[in-house]
Amino acid sequence: MAQRYQNRIELLQGTLDLLILQTLQWGAQHGYGISQAIRANSGDILQVDTGSLYPALHRLERQKWISADWKLSENKQRVRVYRLTATGKKQLLSERSRWEQLSDAIAGVLSPAKREGQA
Amino acid sequence: MKFLWHRKSKQQELQQELQSHLQMAADDKVSQGESADEAERSARREFGNVALVQQVTRDQWGTRWLEEFLQDLHYAARVLRKSPGFTLIAVLTLALGIGANTALFSVVNGVLLNPLPYPNPDQLVTLHASKPNFETGSISFPDFRDWRKDNRTFSAMAISRSFGFSLTGRGEPERVQAKLISSDYFSLLGVQPVIGRTFASGEDEIGAAPTVMISAGLWRRKFGSSPDALGKTLTLDGHDHAIIGVFPANFDLFLRTAGLADVYVPIGQWSNSALPQRGAGLGIHGIGRLKPGVTIEQARADMQRVTQGLAAAYPDTNKGIGATIIPLKQEMVGQVQPILLVLLGAVGFVLLIACVNVANLMLARSTARAREFAIRTALGAGHTRLIRQLLTESLLIAIAGGVIGLLLAGWSTQAALRVLPSGLPRAQQVGIDTHVLLFTTLISLLAGILFGLAPALKTSDANLHGTLKEGGRGSSAARHGAQSVLVLAEMALAVVLLIGAGLMIRTLSRLWDVNPGFTARNVLTFGVSLPPAMMKAPPDAIRAALRDVHSTLGAAPGVQAIALSWGGLPMDSEDDSLFWLASEPKPASQNDMKWSLSYVVEPDYLNVMQIPLRRGRFFSPGDNEHAPAVAVVDDVFARTYLPNVDPIGQRLYLANFDSQQVEIVGVVGHVKQWGLDTDDTQQLRAQIYTPYMQLPDKPMALSPFGTDVVVRTTGPPAPVFESLQRASNQMSSQQVIFGPQTMEEIISASLAARRFSLILLGFFAALALVLSSVGIFGVISYLVGQQTQEIGIRIALGARGWDVLQLVLSHSAKMAALGVLVGLVGSLALTRLMAKMLYGVSPSDPLTFFAVAAILTLVALAASYVPARRAMRVDPIVALRYE
């Protein structure tokens, strides 16, 4: 069972980290909020599994790209809130540019004619 | 503790975090119109398995192994607490094994492994003059000065020679141990004075102003450790020496001599007229420091060039003389290295036996725990997890054993070093340091894995079905095999150790039986130095004073016979003499002369030592300075140099004694100068005796500084020294008699290293014997317990006690026989390693092998007799009711 979750973490790892960091760029957020934001911003296409989300959050926290605090939510509920750190911001920039390179490259492979035309 | 607490709160936080997620999801669903119940259910469904999410998240903390380890540790501690008897025996057994290993390793570490306590110790070497048949001869003072001047590979060179002075003028006159050294001695080693300075270059020249460095001990004793001592003088052999510095307590390069030197004096102060002679062999040896980056081979090549140059310049004295260079550490510890390594090997065997014993205990226990493990397996514990659990238990035991062992070692090493012969070099550098701690940790962990692995593998292999079905009895048959193999191994190891100890016992008893060539019983030796006033007296006055000493001390109560002796003393100190036969032409150089040990003695020497006279006569009081010079030789001399002729009446010239011509008047038995063991294999064995009163004037002028005396006493020799001291004091309060030693002590000291290794080997072997008999006892008891029903049935069917006894004993006899056999084969291979320590017995001595085999078999049978008796008394009714 654990195996199943771990496989999916690995599958999503690069992108999920990017999505989490990007989401936190707009402000501190708790785990549930992050998953909701990713879902809404992707037009309900990306649904983040909790078995992937929380391990990713705790890993990013250990890497010191995000930090966590306990806060009270609007409903007066104690929630653990994550925010981007300075190194996290740098990481986000490099992950973004890497992602853009990757998607450009993939786009180029998928439609080579267009790319040659540009060149 | 903090870490554990932190971890616990982190887990709670994670739980809260996930809980709040669920709560928020449910709240959202409620606000979208779902009922509270339905919202919570669907939130949970979407979330998935909460516990699983917790676990995979926790895995991100990277501490899962630790978590499991803590669990195992907790569990192991609980298990061990529940069976304190087992835990205690296992821990103590291991503590003995680990303690003995730690103790011996701390000795090996301090003596062999640690670098010498001087800066850049790898650059330090010892220097000797080599002659064609003698590698480590004495360096003459002029040669040393040329070596120092001409070499290109040494940054410094120094020489030293042991000496003794009469210290007068500061309280009671006393004899102080001394070293005569060249200026660079301290600076070469990098030893700093406590106060003052070390010798400056040029201060070691002949004719320089007399100076001295004193030990911290003497400084305290004579000057109350006051800095005022600098600039004051110390009167040594009647000469005032200015004190220039104090050297640290316990400083001594070689801890070989009986005591530490209290004063260091520049060698130029030596009043020996032979010092400036290039051909003189005066017991001077050197040390050197290689220039950085110079290898020992380069230094050897360089010194070969230097010595060849000297041989060309001074062919008469230096032809064939080279330089021997040995790394300092090798020279210091080379002799004890094989002994220590053999002992380390032996003590390793003791630890192996201890491990086997504990492994056996654990195996026996694992039977009782088989069900526990079967249940844990059934509940989903993996193989590796079970092995890890068992290994954690054994590591816990091993670590406890290690800690106690370390304490045992720390205490016992200090105790052992106190009773140790002073023969162990660098003994003061033995202690527990980080290397030793590392070693102990390592062997504890290794031991834990070693004795834990076999039972762990065995247990986790156990057939699940079988065990659960079989009820409490476990799969016993499988386990007998493993236990028997362990006991067999244990016995084999014990055999090897016992044979090692046995061979040492045989060696020592052989050595005690060796005839030294004289009768040591009731012989006392000591030194006398005449009052300082005599030290510049003319030869006739010295002879008169020596005759006075002879008659006064000889009249002391308890003295049966007395003889002054100069030069060599059997097994204690040696002196050599170059000579040529009158029947041949005078050799061109000293190197071509013949060579013999030299003893200058008074007529009663033969009576005191009880050396047998073979032919002719020994000296009489008439062989004095006015009579023709005579000599007596031993039978080795006669055989070697005068074969096929009658030695009596032959004449020879003694090069060291101004080429004095002497006539041989007698032949005596050979004395084992080099010790009971190695004398037969030495190059230099021929012996020549000359009468003390015929000693030429130059060497006679040295005898007031210190001459030996041998005395045969009527009773035990040690107490006689007091009456000799009184007699000496009545002659002159300035006359010092010192260094009493019985001849038996000297012989005993020459065997000290072997006796020490015998004691240790014997101790290890005894430990091995006890441990392995406990092992056999345990296994046989266990087997009898397992076979109670079978025995009960046999008895019910008519077997008698004797049959039962046979049944049990035959099993242990089989085990013992096999173990002994394996041990004997192993010993054949291993005892060859200790061949160097043996004397007069072969490493595969059949008597020792047979005796050990018999002893071990008997012990094995005795150990199984108690459980066998129990088996005989099994009541069939009780045994069968168990079913």
CATH code for position A58: 1.10.10.10
Which pLDDT score, from 0 to 100, does residue B473 have?
47
Which pLDDT score, from 0 to 100, does residue B48 have?
83
Which pLDDT score, from 0 to 100, does residue B748 have?
84
> Looking at the partner chain, which of A51, A77, A79 has a beta carbon nearest the beta carbon of B53?
A51
CA dihedral B633→B639→B640→B643, nearest 10 degrees, is 110
* Residue B30 at interface with chain A, using a CB cutoff of 8 Å: no
B634 touches B600 (CB < 8 A) = no
Distances (CA, A) of B749 to B258, B420, B762: 10, 11, 19
Rounded Cα–Cα distance for residues B772 and B568 (Å)? 50
- Complex ipTM: 0.81
Burial of B728 (0-12, 13-18, 19+ CB in 10 A): buried
Which pLDDT score, from 0 to 100, does residue B240 have?
92
| Helix or strand (DSSP H, E) at B239 | strand B239-247
B285 touches B126 (CB < 8 A) = yes
Which pLDDT score, from 0 to 100, does residue A114 have?
56
Mutate to test the interface with B, among A39, A49, A58, A73 (most CBs of B within 10 A): A58
Distances (CA, A) of B801 to B215, B552, B806, B873: 76, 80, 9, 8
A50–B47 C-beta distance less than 8 A: yes
Which pLDDT score, from 0 to 100, does residue B305 have?
95
Mutate to test the interface with A, among B24, B31, B44 (most CBs of A within 10 A): B24
Rounded Cα–Cα distance for residues B483 and B722 (Å)? 64
Q: What is the 8-class DSSP label of residue B586?
A: P
Bridge partners, B161 (sequence order): B180
Alpha helix positions (H), B710-800: 720-731, 743-750, 752-786, 788-796
| CA-CA-CA-CA torsion sign (B631, B634, B639, B640) | negative
Bridge partners, A68 (sequence order): A82
Which pLDDT score, from 0 to 100, does residue B806 have?
85
Residue of B nearest to A59 (CA): B60
* Residue A73 at interface with chain B, using a CB cutoff of 8 Å: yes
Helix (H/G/I), strand (E/B), else coil: B806: helix
Which pLDDT score, from 0 to 100, does residue A9 have?
39
Write out the two tokens for A107. Answer: 């786009």
B275 touches B282 (CB < 8 A) = yes
Show Cβ contacts of residue A99 under 8 Å, excluding neighbours closer than 6 positions.
A15, A18
Rounded Cα–Cα distance for residues B141 and B317 (Å)? 13
* Residue B52 at interface with chain A, using a CB cutoff of 8 Å: yes
Which residues of chain B have a CB within 8 Å of the CB of A33?
24
Which pLDDT score, from 0 to 100, does residue B476 have?
46
Q: What is the 8-class DSSP label of residue B503?
A: H
Tally the domains of chain A: 1
Which pLDDT score, from 0 to 100, does residue A1 have?
40
The rounded average pLDDT for each run of 10 residues, N- to C-terminus, in chain B (883 residues) is 68 86 87 87 85 81 74 85 86 90 88 85 92 83 94 94 86 86 92 92 90 92 90 90 90 62 92 84 90 94 94 88 91 81 89 87 76 77 79 89 92 76 67 87 87 73 58 48 80 90 89 90 92 88 94 93 91 86 85 87 95 95 93 94 92 88 95 87 89 91 89 91 91 87 87 80 86 81 77 83 84 87 92 85 91 90 84 76 58
Helix (H/G/I), strand (E/B), else coil: B130: strand
Q: List the beta strands (DSSP E) in B381-522.
A: none
Q: Which of B215, B219, B217 is nearest to B227 (CA)?
A: B219
Which pLDDT score, from 0 to 100, does residue B467 have?
59
Q: Which of B819, B676, B645 is nearest to B743 (CA)?
A: B676
Q: What is the 8-class DSSP label of residue B557?
A: T
Rounded Cα–Cα distance for residues B50 and B495 (Å)? 62
A9–B56 C-beta distance less than 8 A: yes
Which residues of chain A have a CB within 8 Å of the CB of B56?
2, 5-6, 9, 51, 54-55
How distant is the Cα of B34 from the closest Cα of chain A, in angstroms?
18
Helical pair B84-108 and B383-419, crossing angle rounded to 10 deg: 50
B209-224 as b/e, with b when 16 or more CB fall inside 10 Å?
ebbbbbbbebbeebbe
Which pLDDT score, from 0 to 100, does residue B464 have?
57
* Residue B382 at interface with chain A, using a CB cutoff of 8 Å: no
Rounded Cα–Cα distance for residues B299 and B291 (Å)? 9
> Looking at the partner chain, which of B24, B49, B57 has a beta carbon nearest the beta carbon of A54?
B57
B25–A6 C-beta distance less than 8 A: no
Which pLDDT score, from 0 to 100, does residue B259 have?
60
Kindly tell me if the per-residue pLDDT of A6 is higher than 50: no
B339 touches B837 (CB < 8 A) = yes
Range of the domain at A83: 2-118
Rounded Cα–Cα distance for residues B716 and B195 (Å)? 45
Rounded Cα–Cα distance for residues B51 and B679 (Å)? 82
Bridge partners, B52 (sequence order): none
Which residues 37-66 in chain A show a CB within 8 A of chain B? 49-51, 54-55, 57-59, 62
Rounded Cα–Cα distance for residues A51 and A40 (Å)? 19
Bridge partners, B131 (sequence order): B134
Which pLDDT score, from 0 to 100, does residue A119 have?
40
pTM: 0.71
